[in-house]
Each structure stands twice: as C-alpha cells, then as structure tokens.
Chain A
C-alpha cells in the first residue's frame, strides 16, 4: 500500500465555512506546490469537515507536529511547503493569536477556544476525511453498531440509552431512551427511523457540520436506533440548502452499503437496514416532527396534532422514531463507552455535552461542544474570548428564535435543559447569540418575532393572528408610538399564544418578547414613555444632530466621518445636517473643533 509511506498529513478543512473563504483553491495550490517539490508521494493531503472555527478559516493542520494554521491563503502555500514541510520550521505568522493576550499558539489543543471543550458529537469533525469510510473505521467507527447487532438484544440497547440519560438535542430535550421504548413497544410489521437535519434556526450550523464532517457517525447512530426499535428503513431529512452535507452523506451511504454496513443481513445478524436521504424545502416549520413526516410523504409541511405521537403512528402511519442529528451522533459513544461513562459527563438532569453555535458580538465565534452544566460565562468569556474591544456584555440569547434573552446576572447559570427553562429561555438546538450594550432589546425581540411570525404555517389562529398582533405592537413601540398598557397586552397575548398553539412554533414564539420584558422592562418603558431608545438603535426614537450655523467655522471635519453622508456644505461656510438622512450616530459631534454640533 503506497499510502503508508506518507511522512506527513496536511489536513485542510473543506467544510462550508472554509470553502467560502477559499479552501478549495488552497488545496489546489498545495497539490501543485507539493508536486513541484517532488513531495506528493511523501505528504498526504486530507480534506476534513468543520473544526468549528470557520471565522478563522481556511484552517490547516500539519501532522505529525499537529501545528494549527489559520486564515491560510493560496499565497501562503509556497512558504508552508518550503519552510514547514521541507525544513520543518513552523510558519509563525499563520499561527492563531489569542485575542486577549496576543500570544501565538502552535498546537490547537492549547488554544483557549478548544481547551475548554469536550468533544463527543464533534469528536471526529476536522480530524478525519469524511469521504473516507476507512478513516472513520480506523478510529473505532461502526464498532458500536457491530456490538449492538451481534451481542445485544434490542431491549438492552434501549436500556443503555435510557441509563445514559441522553435527551433530545433538537430542541425539546425529551429523553431519547424513553422515546425509543415507545417506538419499540408499538406493534407493527413495518417501522421507520428518521434523522431530523432540517436545522431551521437562523445562524445554527451544528447539524450541518456534523453531517459534513462525520456522516458515518449519523448512519451508525441510526443503525443502532433502527435495531433497537425494530425498523428496517430510515430517512435523513436534510434541508436542500446544505449541498455539501448531502453530497457527503450520499457518499457515506454508498460506502457503507459497499461494506455491507447498510443493506441486508448486516454483521450476519439477519438485520436489514436501508437508508434514504430526503431533501427538505427549507420552511422553518418543516423541522417540527409531524410537519416533517408530512413533507416526506409528499404532503404540505404542516404540523398535525399529537397524540398520536410518531412512536405510535408516524411516517405513513407506521411507528416511527425521530431524533435530531446531534442526538444520533452521541449514540456510538454511549454504546462503546457505556451508559455510566456518558452520564458521568454533565449534570444530574442533563447528561453529556451540547454543541452550540456561538455568534454575535464576541471574539471567537464558532461551534463549541461543552459538558452540560458549563456556565454561560465560561462559554462566552473563556471559550468565546469575551466581547469586542471595550464593549460591555448586555445579554445572551439561547434557543434560537424560540428562545429568550438572559441578562448579566445570569452569567453564572449552568447550561442545562432545566435551568434554562426556569430562567425563561431554552436550550433549543444550540444557538447562542451574544449582545453588547449597542443592542436594543426591544429591537432584538422584534427581530426574532418577525422571523417566527413569517414562518408560522397559519394552521391555527393563536399563532397566525396572535404573533401578528404582537409584532404590530412591537413595531409601534420601536417607531416611537408605544402606548400605556402595551407591555401588559404583550404579556397577555404571549401567554395566550403559548398555551393554545398547536405546535412548538407557536408555543415558543413569544419567548423572546416575554423574556426581554422580564429582564429589560426598563427599555420597553423608555421607548413607550420617554420616546427614547437607550441603545440608540431605533432610529425613529432618536433625534437628528444639528449644526449651530453661528458657531460653525466651515472646516468640514464632521462631513468626513458621517457614515450616511448626511452633512454637506462648502469649506469656510456653515455646514448643515439633513435631518431626514441623519441616523443620530453621534460620530460627528466629537469631530467639531468649535463644539458647534449637538443633538436637537
């Protein structure tokens, strides 16, 4: 095997994030440069999935040293080959620099962003070539499936998942073992398993990254679930906007079929399993399990009332188990390492880890996987590297558009299903948006409600009409036309929608509004009573700046800094600000040498 004389492996991330920053041309340049230096036979290029650090992409890791390079471009390739691959000298300028200390870190295990993480679902992401089934197998892949099919009976499998305490990672947090038990107990000659990879939350990309970076892990998780409940067919429902995830999953299914890991009589156990991919059309509500199954059946993606639950009457009326991508990604670990080892991670009621997509006003954005019970502060300040220069933390939003916002007092809150719910937000699928003092919480609430309102399928009245009313009130408040009693009305409508909507979309849509009223009520009051937006975001509530004609010496300095070109004039004669254009950013005020600018 020629393979084995490679002295070095160069891993290039070709996840969606890194491809968008140039990973494919980087790889081509590297191939050419290796060939030009007669190194192609010595150095192997491996394409991997996402490392979760897309912001610093394209990412390259050079083994055996394990040196982590970021923001690598084609121009850097000649130097990497000459210095590192030929002479063994690290190219220092491409190393990661800690935002807080400016320290250069050569090896990625030592970067704060990774040091505090514990990777189970993401264990292989960025470490293996997702299109090479052998690499997955080399790291112990499919051994959990092998063990289950040849050594365990279905009830033992269900019990193991129950004992592990795994809860669904798709939003609801329902105990996975219990869900499997229901599907197993349902009578039926035909059953299905489904993997929910619809991932509709704006900004979320953990499921996509797992599918792109380690697709066999999902196949294996589903295989175990299918055996446990007695299903012989499965679907992965992926949104069509994820072409790379679909392509890698297709390849993975093909390879697994070729190895006899999918198909008939797997591991000579007599167990058969066939797996299909179904591309989703991309509506947010299609991620809801009943809507999703309707969509697979070719009907409109609309929720239907539960019960009956999918475990009893699911896809085509047959008992069906549906889990999220990340939920399945934990299964091989639980089987291989045992329920106890899994439940030892995390907290009493929430075992294991959770993957978050960390975004917003924070230094290190990206995908992070941490044990449950890690505090918000640890994630935001230690892994995320804190907020941008000199900015003060204001709030963190968890749970995607259905979640809520928590203020600074809650930074020590341990992240688990129940503490988040108690605090008025939720785990959701793992979105985490950090906001600083420049964010207006009324505007944030309006943004999320606007999303859910436009995604409402319209089937039931509280959600369809109620969210529209709430949005109108919020629009009024941010336009400076808020009235006494608006806050109370929002609270009343919110509670009503939550308790009477048919599906999770409506039941959670008011959360961003309710939680911001709970923690930032003073901001609502300032908008309504003082016609003031304290963060300076709602432009109708802040008055334009004006120039005092008498005082102005016509130097023109103000006009240079105005971001919207609201200021005009001739040098040496008075300048004026167009009040309709001015967004009241205040940038011009300190520029004026004679203090001629003030807010009207």
Chain B
C-alpha cells in the first residue's frame, strides 16, 4: 500500500459487494418465485433482473417471494423504491424487465401498461 488514497480506492472497489449485507433502505426488486412462478419462467426473470442491475451498476436489493395468489399473471416482480408505493408487474418477458429497470428503477417512472397491482 503506497498511500491512503490507494487504500480508499481499493475500498470503493470492494465495497459494492459488501452492500448486499447492508440493511439500510434501498430500492428493492422482489421476484415471485412460487411453484407456478418458477414454471412460468421466474428463474429467467430473476437472472435477467440480476444481469440488468449488474450492467447498470445499480444499488438494488433483489429478493424473492413465494406465491402471492396471482399465479395466472406469472412471472411477476414487485418494485419498491424507498418511500414510494410498491408496484407489482406481471406477465413479464425478459425485455420487459430491462424496460422496468431503466424506466422505473432508474428514472422513477412507473411502466403503466405492465402494472397489475399497486400497494399503498
């Protein structure tokens, strides 16, 4: 280690991964992973979410949930931005995921035509 600046640079680089263990308020994407969700392709949706977040270097917490009683709308995801209402999107394709992340997660605009429920 040559200098404090070098240490701080290294810290910034390695910090990102540690954020997974940060319990603070962050944007959250919840992927429906009930049995029928998985059958409807939720695993691919989850992977698409992760890939998109990685590509854009976003600080988003990705979690899963079980059956939420809307099996016919699978695959589905919830997007929850800090302090905003939770939005459920359904009948998704991988392309929809990219759209939701760029429009909603990055720019804060809800993608109305894919919304199937809003929660206060």
A binds B: yes
The answer to whether the Cβ of B4 comes within 8 Å of any Cβ in the partner chain is yes
Give the distance to chain A from B47, nearest Cβ to Cβ, in Å: 8
Query: In this assembly, does B63 line the interface, its C-beta being within 8 Å of a C-beta of chain A?
Result: yes
Q: A4: which B residues are within 8 A, CB to CB?
A: 16-17, 54
Compute how far the CA of A85 lies from the CA of B66 in the bound complex, rounded to whole angstroms.
11
| Interface contact B64-A87, CB-CB below 8 Å | yes
Knowing A63-B20, A63-B21 touch, does A267 contact B1 (C-beta < 8 A)?
A: yes
B12 to chain A, nearest CB (A): 9
| Segment with Cβ contacts to A, from B30-38, B79-87, B90-98 | B30-38
Partner of B1, one of A8, A11, A259: A259
B7 CB contacts on chain A under 8 angstroms: 137, 142-143, 146, 267
Nearest-neighbour CB distance to chain B for A307, whole angstroms, equals 39
B4 adjacent to A137 (CB under 8 Å): no
Chain B, 1-34, CB within 8 A of any chain A CB: 1-4, 7-8, 10-11, 14-18, 20-21, 23, 30-31, 33-34
Residues of chain B at the chain A interface (Cβ within 8 Å): 1-4, 7-8, 10-11, 14-18, 20-21, 23, 30-31, 33-34, 38, 46-47, 50-51, 54, 61-66
Query: What is the minimal beta-carbon distance from B92 to any residue of chain A, in angstroms?
Result: 17
A7 within 8 A of partner (CB): yes
Which residue of chain B has its CB nearest to the CB of A151? B4
- A 124-149 to B, binary, CB cutoff 8 A, 1 in contact else 0: 00011000001101111011001100
Given the contacts A8-B20, A147-B4, A135 and B14 also touching, CB distance less than 8 Å = yes
Q: Which residues of B contact A142 (CB under 8 A)?
A: 1, 7
Main secondary structure of the interface of B (DSSP, over half): helix
- Asked if A421 is an interface residue, CB under 8 A from chain B, the answer is no
Interface residues of A in 43-96 (CB under 8 A from B): 63-66, 83, 85-89
- A133 CB to closest chain B CB, in angstroms? 9
Contacts of A109 in B (CB 8 A): 23
Shortest CB distance B32–A (Å): 9
7 pairs from A and B in contact (CB 8 Å cutoff): A5-B50, A5-B54, A11-B21, A87-B64, A134-B14, A135-B18, A267-B7
B66 to chain A, nearest CB (A): 4
The 4 A-B pairs of least Cβ separation, nearest first, read A88-B64, A146-B4, A134-B14, A138-B14
Contact call B61/A138, Cβ cutoff below 8 A: no
Structural contact, A9 and B65, CB atoms closer than 8 A: no
Known contacts A66-B23, A137-B11, A142-B1; A5 and B51 CB within 8 A of each other: yes
Contact of A150 with B18 at beta-carbon distance under 8 Å, contacts A89-B66, A137-B11, A140-B11 already known: no
With A5-B51, A9-B20, A138-B14 known as contacts, the answer to whether A88 contacts B4 (CB < 8 A) is: no
Q: How far is the CA of A34 from the CA of B21 in the complex (A)?
A: 19
User: Is A316 interfacial (CB 8 A cutoff)?
Assistant: no
How many angstroms from the CA of A135 to the CA of B11 in the assembled complex? Answer: 9
**Which of B14, B20, B66 contacts A6 (CB under 8 A)?**
B20
Contacts of A66 in B (CB 8 A): 21, 23
Complex CA–CA separation, A437 to B3 (angstroms): 59
* Residue A266 is within 8 A (CB to CB) of chain B in the complex: yes
A269 to chain B, nearest CB (A): 9
Q: How far is the CB of B80 from chain A (nearest CB, A)?
A: 13
- Which chain B residue lies CB-closest to A150? B4
Q: Which of B3, B20, B33, B51 contacts A64 (CB 8 A)?
A: B20
A107–B21 alpha-carbon span in the complex (Å): 12
A261: B residues at CB distance < 8 A: 1
- Cβ–Cβ contact A260 & B54, under 8 A: no
Taking a contact as CB atoms under 8 Å apart, the answer to whether A87 and B63 are in contact is no
Partner of A127, one of B4, B21, B33: B21
- Taking a contact as CB atoms under 8 Å apart, the answer to whether B2 and A86 are in contact is no
Q: Is A268 an interface residue (CB 8 A)?
A: yes
B15 partner residues in chain A, CB cutoff 8 A? 138
Q: A7 contacts B66, CB within 8 Å?
A: no
A128 to B14 Cα, complex, angstroms: 12
Using Cβ atoms and an 8 Å threshold, which residues of chain A touch B38? 86
Closest residue of A by beta carbon distance from B10: A137
> What is the CA–CA distance of A460 and B50 in the complex, to the nearest angstrom?
69
Question: Which residue of B11, B47, B62, B66 contacts A87 across the interface (Cβ within 8 Å)?
Answer: B66
Bound complex: CA A137 to CA B30 (Å): 30
Nearest-neighbor residue (CB-CB) of A7 within chain B: B62
Q: Bound complex: CA of A268 vs CA of B38, how far in Å?
A: 55
Q: Determine how close the nearest CB of chain A comes to the CB of B22; give it in whole angstroms.
A: 8
Are the CB atoms of B3 and A268 closer together than 8 Å? yes
Closest to A149 in B: B4
Chain A residues contacting B34 (CB-CB under 8 Å) are 87
Residues of A near B20 (CB, < 8 A) are: 6-9, 63-64
Check B17–A3 contact: CB distance below 8 A.
yes
B33, B50, B65: the one within 8 Å of A42 (CB): B50
B97 shortest CB reach to chain A, Å: 14
Query: Contacts of A42 on B, CB cut-off 8 Å?
Result: 46-47, 50
